[in-house]
Each structure stands twice: as C-alpha cells, then as structure tokens.
A and B are shown apart, each in its own frame.
Chain A
Amino acid sequence: MEPFRRHRGRMAPLDRANVDTDQIIPKQFLKRIERSGFGPFLFHDWRRTDPDFVLNRPEYRGATILVAGPNFGCGSSREHAAWSIQDAGFKVVIAPSFGDIFATNSLEIGLLPVRLPEPSVRRLLDLAREDPTVEVSVDLEARTVTAEGFDERFEIDPFARDCLLNGWDKVALTLRHEPDIAAYEARRAVWLPRLAAS
C-alpha cells in the first residue's frame, strides 16, 4: 500500500444519505478477477441515467475528494466499492458516517475515509457546489481538513493511521506474531470443526 500523509485536491459533492455499495459499483461489474479497472463503472447506474449526476458534470472532473451524506458505503462487503472510488482518482472520502466494512476496506487500500460532524460536511458540500474549483487539504498526520475559511480536526483509529502513514503491509505485521498464533492454535478445543481437502 502507498503511504498516505496529506492530500490537496478538489471536491465532488454527493449530497445523498445511505449511499450503498450496490450504487457505488453494481454487481454486474463484480465478476472481474483483477483489483484494478473498476473506476469506469463507479456509480454506473446514476451516471448512465442522470446527466446532472455530479460525476457527469465537467466542473467536477478531476476531483479527488468525494464528499457524501451519512452512512456512506452501507450494504455489501464488496471491496470493489473502495477499489472503484480509488480507481476513479479519489484519495479521500468525507462523510458524517460510513458503513463499517466499507470504512475498513478503504483503510486497507489507502483510500482515506474521514468522518466529520454533519454540519461540517454540509459546509463542505455547499462550498463545493458554490465553487467547484475550491481546494481542500487533508492532513492525516495533523488529522485536519482545511480550506479557505474551513478548519476541522477529525478522529481516526491511531493504529489505522499509523498503517496509512507508513504504508504498512498488515499481513506482514500479523505474521510477526507467529509464536503467539502457534501458541493459540495449540490450545484450541479439539471438537472444533476441521475440513479435509476435497
């Protein structure tokens, strides 16, 4: 994973609550067996049916910060949702709250989910609508989101933050605890199910 320290970019305002992963990436695009190439299918149905949809508007082309309503990314566990947002060029998603699995998936791939209070998100949405060229800085080290006349701190799990700042491979971190894992395995109950290979 690429380390994430800070990012500066323009916003795309998606003023909707409960945007679910089926909207982010409809299932007909889940059949790929690669991790990349999902960007063109991001919000496929909305882009196709609504010419005014934010990602269809030329003034938001090149935006790298997605700002959305509460409970963004609820629904399925498909990491494809986070992949498609990242693949479409976004580095940060800002919302009042996120679906748990979506937030975890984003952190895993280096797409930063930033949780801000609803009124603050509302101000960013308004800002992006009034002036699509406005730039926002997101600083993970300082845990701040800043723009002209806007300065907010956000909370993030300190461990997740360290992983992002350093671009750590989490599997490698866990594998360092091999002795603990082996010791745990030695004391598991004997009746627990085990499968033979087919």
Chain B
Amino acid sequence: MPRTLAQKIWDAHVVRSAEGEPDLLYVDLHLVHEVTSPQAFESLRLAGRRVRRPDLTVATMDHNTPTRGGREAADEIGRRQLDALEENCRWAGIRLYPMGSRHQGIVHVIGPELGLTQPGMVIVCGDSHTSTHGALGAMAFGIGTSEVEHVLATQCLPQRRPRDLAVTVEGELPVGVVAKDVVLALIHQVGVSGGQGCAVEYRGGTIRALSMEGRLTICNMTIEWGARVGMVAPDDTTFAYLEGRPYAPRGAEWERALDHWRSLPSDPDAVFDREIRLDAARLEPFVTWGTNPGQAVPVSGRVPEPTTENEERALRYMDLRPGTAIQDIAIDRVFIGSCTNARLEDLRAAAAVVRGRRVHPRVRAMVVPGSAQVKLQAEAEGLDRVFEEAGFEWRDAGCSMCLGMNPDILQPGERCASTSNRNFEGRQGAGGRTHLLSPPMAAAAALVGHLVDVRQVADVIPAEPSRRS
C-alpha cells in the first residue's frame, strides 16, 4: 500500500493499537517551556510518578522572559514560573537551557537549530506552534498540560490518526514575496478552521525551492488554519541544514539516518483525503486587517466591506473603515520576532530593507532574535548595527511581543506591524492592534510609518550611501 509521509511516521511510532481505542504513539522528543508545564509536573508528583525519559525531554525559557535586563526584569509571578521550571528540571534530570544560556531561545527555534528536530520523529510540546518542526519532515503537534503530564509519565500519547491533506504550491514566487505571504494567502483562502483534524503535507515546486527557514515559517502557521500537523518531506535542503548540528547523527550513524530519511517522502501514488492548490506566481505580499490570520488581503488591496458580524467586530476592534487602502494605515510599533519569523534568514531579509535608512520618527521598532544563537550569528554579521543605526531596538531572545506575557507589550490602541503569527484581540497587549506580515514588509513599514509594499520602499526612501555599511 502506498503511504503518505504522515502515515509512514505514524506507523513507525505505534506502540500499541487496539480495536476501538486510539493508537498509543511513542514520542521521540518532548519540548517543555515554563508556561504550560508547572501544573503537569505538579500532578505527576502528586500521583507519585516520575519522568520516564528525561533524556528525550528538553526545556527552555521563552514566553515569560524579558528581552532586556535579564531575569530581574521579569515580574514576580513570571519569575515564579521560571523558578518552577528550573526546580522541575532539576528534580526530573531534564536538560534546561535557562535565560543566559547560549542555547536558550524560543522552543520552536532551538529544536531545529540544535539538530534535535529530525525527519521522521514524533515531537510534542505544550504549545500550539509545535507544528513548526514539521518543516524538517517530523510529525510535530501541540498538546495541552494534561497531555504534557501524560508524555512526561509515559513518553507516549494516545492519538487518533489524522486525515491526510496535501497543500500543493507551484510556481515561482515574485520578487518581494516570501514564505510568510504564501501561508497568509493560504489561510485567507481556506479559512481559519479549514484544516481541522488534518495532518498537512506542503509540497510542490515552490515548497521544494524554499530554504529551511521559509519552510519553518509555513509549518509554524499550520495551526492558524486549524490543522495540527504541517510537514514538508525531507530532501537535500533538510539534510544540508541538519548536517553538523549538535544533536544530528554523525559518521556511520549519519549515513544510516540518511537512508531512513530518504525512505520517508510520500509514495508517488499515495492517496490524500483532500488537496488544496495554490499558484505562487500570482501572489503578492499579504497583510492582515482583522483579528484572525485569515482576515488578510494583498498589500495593494483595501480593507473589505464586512460580510459577517465577526468581521464587523474585527473592524471595530481594529478601528478601521471599509475601503481604506491598506497602504494608508499608519502604524505605531513594529515587531520583528517570534517563532514564525525570527531566524537568521528573516533578520537578514529585514536588514536588507533597513540598511542605510532610518525608522520613521513616530514608530517604535524592535527586533527580537528567536534564540541566543540567532542573536550571536546576527551580531557576527553586523546585523545588530544595521538595525540599531536605523533606530531599531536590538533585544535578547524570547517570545517577546508575540504574546505579551513579558514586559514587551502594546499599549491600548497602539497599532503594530508584526512578523508573528496571531492577530487575535489583545494578543500583543490589551487593546493592541496587530497586522501580520513578513519580515521585509515589517521593516518597510517601520521606515515609512505606515503599511507599504516593500517593493516600493527603494523609490520612497532611497538609502543614504553613507549609511550603507
């Protein structure tokens, strides 16, 4: 029987299956952070249980962590959560990358970066954006705290097989259009619940041509259209990305792993339950206008007439009038960061737009690298100077203003161009208004003070030759 990538990974992880029951799946890697784990450890201890495989578990601090001023800058309850994680990891013998560690970072950035995320694995984390790791051909999904406890105790999870959904993207991306635009356009097309119950495989020439960073961005936002798993079949891009990373196999083991990984892609005649097609050549940079990621339009477009009560609510919350040109929307803040778009390639793309120009005087803009490693590498390339000279704040790694659980938040009424993944009401701070877009688009908005097509920035503000370092 021909099988899909998802089916192959599933079959290889079934510990036990019985009629009428969900399959018991083995978990290869369990990622843990401070927000969704304390209650799981607590219940585990109360039940007199232990962590079965601390060696397959790794923890980092990301959601609560201040991006300036270190741990002391966290509020008291935030610190309590960081302390609890530290104690729990010590108790269970779990490797923790705390604040200050050179491998600390957003949980979905450090997994691939360390080579912990590998093709064919089952990966879980108490965080919905765990789908990110699927970019390397892993089956990765977010779980709740009770399930975190389940995995800590058993390294397994009872699960029902998802349906298989193919998203095929063909065509060459126009200049200025990047992975973020592909996924925003996709969510706009299928709606925010279009993927419920599905394991998605992104495929086609456009996906194959993307870098690992671009694939990570697309898989990251899989949960935003309701699917739990988003994957790209492993290929030479994947292998080249992994080779030499700290936890990647080496020597003879690398060769054996490669043989296995090469067997994972969906068989040519494998059957998907559904297929969605997208023509990349016709895409434009996308921007959201509303309060869910599906409420998006091409940057050349206008705020639409509302057709549902939901859209009316969204317009009220966003304080926008139908018919307004997207490019006439002025912004107060810019956030370049999050597990969607804070890897080295994202920062390079934003820096390329910023170089030699200045942030608009009304705008407060920040860049928050996704991990301590990304920060170090970016600094080695001088990207920090490009941003700082332009007037951006250059901060320490963490989730930062993606969810405003740390000191980085929007004030009520502030409007932000953000490279993160959620524009829900209050997501970046109570009363804050979020427009999702790509890193180059966010950079462009910072320079001109309103939403703008990044491809026009060169015409609007020429770079000063003297600043072009």
Contact = CB atoms under 8 A, between A and B. Distances in A.
B85 to A, nearest CB: 10
Contacts of B28: 188, 192-193
A105 interface: yes
B197 A33 contact: no
A109 B146 CA distance: 8
A33 B425 CA distance: 24
Interface stretch (B55-63, B324-332, B449-457): B55-63
A99 B144 contact: no
Interface stretch (B17-25, B390-398, B440-448): B17-25
Given A78-B36, A170-B150, A16 B310 contact: yes
Nearest to B154: A174
Interface residues of B, number: 85
Contacts of A31: 35, 64, 75, 77-78, 80-81, 405
B301 interface: no
A113 interface: no
A160 to B, nearest CB: 9
Contacts of A196: 55, 95
A194 B55 CA distance: 5
B296 to A, nearest CB: 14
Interface string A84-107: 000000000000010111001100
A181 B26 contact: yes
A56 B193 CA distance: 28
B84 interface: yes
Interface string A60-75: 0000000000110011
A197 B54 contact: yes
Contact of B56 (A27, A104, A180, A195): A195
A133 interface: no
B169 interface: no
B36 A108 contact: no
B145 A79 contact: yes
Contact size class for A? Answer: 35 or more
**Mostly helix, strand, loop or mixed at chain A's interface?**
loop
A158 interface: yes
A70 B405 contact: no
Interface string B165-208: 00000000000000000000000000011001100000000000
Contacts of A75: 128, 422, 424
B29 interface: yes
A75 B22 CA distance: 24
Interface string B29-57: 10000011011001100010100001111
Interface string A1-45: 000000000000000111010110011101111110000000001
Contacts of B405: 27-28, 30-31
Nearest to B225: A74
A194 B93 CA distance: 13
A193 B427 CA distance: 34
A105 B64 contact: no
B126 interface: yes
Contact of A100 (B89, B154, B196, B426): B196
Nearest to A191: B249
13 contacts: A23-B424, A27-B427, A33-B84, A71-B192, A74-B226, A78-B35, A105-B144, A105-B145, A157-B22, A158-B20, A177-B15, A189-B257, A195-B94
Chain A to chain B: the 6 pairs with minimum beta-carbon distance, closest first: A191-B249, A108-B146, A105-B144, A33-B38, A79-B144, A79-B145
